[in-house]
Each structure stands twice: as structure tokens, then as C-alpha cells.
Amino acid sequence: MRQTLAVQRSESRDIRLLFPLPLATIASQSSMASVPPLFVAISHEYGVSIGTVGQVRGVSAASAVVGTLLVGGWIHRHGARPVMVWGGLLAAVGALICATAPAFAMLAVGQVVVGAGICCLLSSGFAGAGEFFAPGARDWAVGWITALQSLAWIIGVPLVGLIADQVGWRAAFAVPAAFALIAAFSAMLFAPKIERDPDGPDERTGLLAALADPSARRWTVGELLAFAVWTGEITYIAAFYMETYGISEGLVGVLLPTGSMAFFAGSALAERVGRGWSRRRLLAASAVAMGAVACVLFNFHPAVPVTMAIGLLIGVAAGLRAASSSALALNQLPDKPGAMMAARTAAVQIGYLVGASIGGVAVDAAGYGSLGVIMITGMALSALVMSGVRERPPTVVSQTAD
């Protein structure tokens, strides 16, 4: 017989509650980050252009966006735990399909399954911060969830590059598959079972709840603008290194994580920096900084060390922006973290869809320098939109558990 009990969100910085959440976002990031370093090899394998290969990220993004129509409601009704489990399993199956794809079309099919896993992992990983933690500990949780997801780049991308060099690009899909399975099992073992009261009022949940609220909708548009241009950079940065400097996939796998380490630092420091800034001001400043520095990176590249140094600055600004943005999102609809994180996932994945498409066309037509111009324009627009988002005081909402 089911027994429903009131659950008090943790007021403390409980590492045990935090543990499965970054693992979910690490797995989602690994599923996204593991493909770009393989673009050149995939291009040669199937005889298609780099811009065409880049569209596979758009395929997984489109799949994830469709999933956001449902995932917020699932989290609201059943809690983050089962969504994390299913997300990990879907991402692992999708990686297997990609690794064994006999044709480019089948690789795209695998990315459809991967996109469904990404949607579940990314939404539930961040929603868990609002579900498991009280407002006083939430910014801390979001900061670490955001920071630790960069381990997908710091650890996962070098492994992808190493395996691709030594064994082949197909074997490299074992890396995102492993992260996905680890996330699924950690959720089963450590995430609490939480669900809404089945006798509670019937209300709008999921992505539609976020879009119905004016401030939440404005935040979603601002986040979409940011990711639509940011993903143009991260989707093609590996190919930029290889084609600009003539370096191997293995070396790219070593270079790219330096920016992710800077992202880790920026995210981890966001809570402390935010004490002297409003979240909106921190968002605006870091977004504009990202765009300006990215414009320099893609248009001024005399040597690898210079590009790496510029990439570190982008990483710190991106970490500050990502953590403060997610914390601001959870304060829009504090009683529906699943809805806001579905909106976040939709914004991120539509951003990937738009960024991969526009970025691929821009690279093929005008070269990598055009990505920098796109970045500074889009990030400035995002900062302008985010400046109108309200910083609402969070409220406490009761939930039930097994």
C-alpha cells in the first residue's frame, strides 16, 4: 500500500542529494559533446561535408525539443528520479545505434534516440535542484550541477579523441554510452522517490506552464537566443582547430577541455560572484563578454596557444552565465521546477538545432570568422531580453514521497 508523506526540501548542502544530479547533466553533455570531435572522420567515412555532418546535432536537438512537451509533466507527476533513469537508458541505446550505423541516415536515426535521452537527463538533472533543495541551498546546487557537467568535456572529450585516434570513431561512442549508464544506475541508487499528491489540483504543467507565464517566457526566449549562437561555437570548435591548425582529433581532445575547465571555474564561482550582483546583471555582463571574446577567437588566430588563452576567457564567462541563468529560471516557477527545466532544455536544444544549422551554412559559405560575428550579435540580444526578467522570491511548496 502506497503511503504519501510530506517531503521537506533540504535546507542544507547535502552532497548525497546532489550526487545523481550532475551525473545526469554530465551524461547529457557527453551525448552532445562527443559528436563534434568526430565530424571530420564521419565526413570522410560517408563522403559528406563538415556542414552536413554538423546537422546530426540538429537531429538530436529536434528530438529533444519534442520531448520537452512531455518531460516537464512527467517530472511534475513522478519526480526527477524515473526520468533520469529512462534518459540514461535512451542515451546509451542511441549511442549504440550511432556506433554501428552502416550509413549516414542510420547515424541520424541514432541521434533521434540520443536526443530523447538528452531531454530526460538535462531536464531532470536541473529540475532535481528545485525538487530536492530548499531555496537557501538551491543556488549552491545549481552552481555545482552546472560546473560538474563540464566533466563531459574535461574527461569525456579527450577519451573520445584518444579512442577515435587509436581504434576508430565508431568505438568512441562507448564514452557517451558509459556516462549514460552510470547516470541511470546512480539515479536508481541515490535519487529520492518523489511525486505529487495524486489528489492534488489538476494544473498546467511542463513546457506550456513556462510559456504561459510572461516572465518565464521572456527568460526562455533569452536562453534560446544565447544557445542559438553559443552552440555555433561549440559545435564547430573542434573542426576549427583541426582545419585552421592542421592538428589531429587526439590533440583536439586534449585542447578542448581547457575551456571546459574554465567553464567549471566560472560555474563554481557563480554563487559567490552573484552575492554582489543581481542574477540579471551577471547574466547580461557574462553574455556580452562571451560574444565579444568569441568574435576575437574566430577572427584572430595566429597560434594555438593564443586561441587556447582566448578560449579560457570564454569558458569562465560561459560558466558564470549558465549557472546564474539556471538559478534565475528556477525562481520563475518555484513550485514547478520540471516546467522551467523543460523550458531550459527546449531552449538549449532548439539553440543547438538553430546553431548547428546556421553555423554549418556560415562555415561553408563564409568561413569560421562568421561564427564570431554571429556570437557577439546573438549574445547582445540575449542580454537585452534577459534584462527584463523578474527576480522573484522563491516560495516553498509541499510534495509527497513514497
pLDDT at 193: 77
CA 101 to chain centre: 25
Mean pLDDT for all residues in the chain: 82
pLDDT at 140: 82
Query: Would you say residue 356 has pLDDT above 60?
Result: yes
Query: Would you say residue 48 has pLDDT above 90?
Result: no
Q: Please list, in sequence order, all residues whose beta carbon lies within 8 angstroms of the beta carbon of residue 305, skipping any fewer than 6 positions away.
A: none
Measured between alpha carbons, how far is 223 from 217 in angstroms, rounded to an integer? 10
Query: Would you say residue 198 has pLDDT above 60?
Result: no
Among candidate residues 249, 108, 125, the one with its CA nearest the CA of residue 179: 125
How far from 349 is each of 105, 199, 265, 330, CA to CA, in Å?
A: 20, 34, 24, 18
Q: Can you give the residue ranges of every domain in the chain? A: 17-193+206-391
Task: Supply the angle between the helices 214-245 and 249-274 in degrees, to the nearest 10.
Answer: 150
Q: In 246-336, which ranges are continuous DSSP H helix?
A: 249-274, 279-299, 304-330
Query: Would you say residue 4 has pLDDT above 50?
Result: no
- Report residue 272's pLDDT band, with 50, 70 and 90 as the boundaries: confident
**H helix or E strand, kind and range, residue 103:** none
pLDDT at 395: 45
Give 7's strand partners. Answer: 399
pLDDT, average across residues 103-126 = 92
pLDDT, average across residues 111-126 = 92
Cβ(44)–Cβ(96) under 8 Å? Answer: no
Cβ(270)–Cβ(143) under 8 Å? Answer: yes
**Which is higher by pLDDT, 195 or 237?**
237
Cβ(358)–Cβ(63) under 8 Å? Answer: no
Cβ-based neighbour number of residue 208 at 10 Å? 14
Among candidate residues 308, 360, 394, 338, the one with its CA nearest the CA of residue 51: 360
Of the candidate ranges 92-96, 144-148, 249-253, the one whose mean pLDDT is the lowest: 249-253
- Just give the CATH number of 17-193+206-391: 1.20.1250.20
**Using alpha carbons only, what angle is made at residue 57 by residues 56 and 61, rounded to the nearest 5 degrees?**
120
Of the candidate ranges 11-20, 28-37, 308-317, 370-379, the one whose mean pLDDT is the lowest: 11-20
pLDDT, average across residues 378-384 = 93
Cβ(92)–Cβ(117) under 8 Å? Answer: yes
pLDDT at 301: 83
Measured between alpha carbons, how far is 53 from 359 in angstroms, rounded to an integer? 12
* pTM for the whole structure: 0.74
179 three-state secondary structure: helix
How far from 9 is each of 129, 138, 307, CA to CA, in Å?
A: 10, 10, 44
How far from 290 is each of 131, 229, 378, 382, CA to CA, in Å?
A: 30, 10, 10, 11
Q: In 47-79, which ranges are continuous DSSP H helix?
A: 50-78
Cβ-based neighbour number of residue 41 at 10 Å? 17
Of the candidate ranges 159-173, 174-188, 237-251, 367-381, the one whose mean pLDDT is the lowest: 237-251
pLDDT, average across residues 236-262 = 80
| Residue in the block written with cell 535519487 | 191
pLDDT at 394: 45
Cβ-based neighbour number of residue 68 at 10 Å? 26
**Which is higher by pLDDT, 120 or 256?**
120
**Which is higher by pLDDT, 31 or 17?**
31
The rounded percent of the chain whose pLDDT value lies above 90 is 27
- Report residue 199's pLDDT band, with 50, 70 and 90 as the boundaries: very low
Q: What is the pLDDT of residues 129-178, one digit of tens each?
A: 878 887 777 778 888 888 888 888 788 878 888 898 889 899 999 999 99
Measured between alpha carbons, how far is 313 from 371 in angstroms, rounded to an integer? 17
Give 194's strand partners. Answer: 401
Query: Would you say residue 2 has pLDDT above 50?
Result: no
- Report residue 187's pLDDT band, with 50, 70 and 90 as the boundaries: very high
Three cell numbers at 2?
A: 502506497
- Report residue 89's pLDDT band, with 50, 70 and 90 as the boundaries: very high
Q: Please list, in sequence order, all residues whose beta carbon lies within 8 angstroms of the beta carbon of residue 238, skipping any fewer than 6 positions away.
A: 36, 37, 39, 249, 252, 256
- Report residue 353's pLDDT band, with 50, 70 and 90 as the boundaries: confident
pLDDT, average across residues 35-57 = 82
Q: With 0-12 CB in 10 A as exposed, 13-18 as middle and 19+ as buried, what is 199? A: exposed
Three cell numbers at 96?
A: 549504440
pLDDT at 397: 41
- Report residue 254's pLDDT band, with 50, 70 and 90 as the boundaries: confident
pLDDT at 24: 94
Measured between alpha carbons, how far is 257 from 130 in angstroms, rounded to an integer? 29
- Report residue 22's pLDDT band, with 50, 70 and 90 as the boundaries: very high
pLDDT at 117: 95
- Report residue 56's pLDDT band, with 50, 70 and 90 as the boundaries: confident
pLDDT at 90: 96
pLDDT at 126: 86
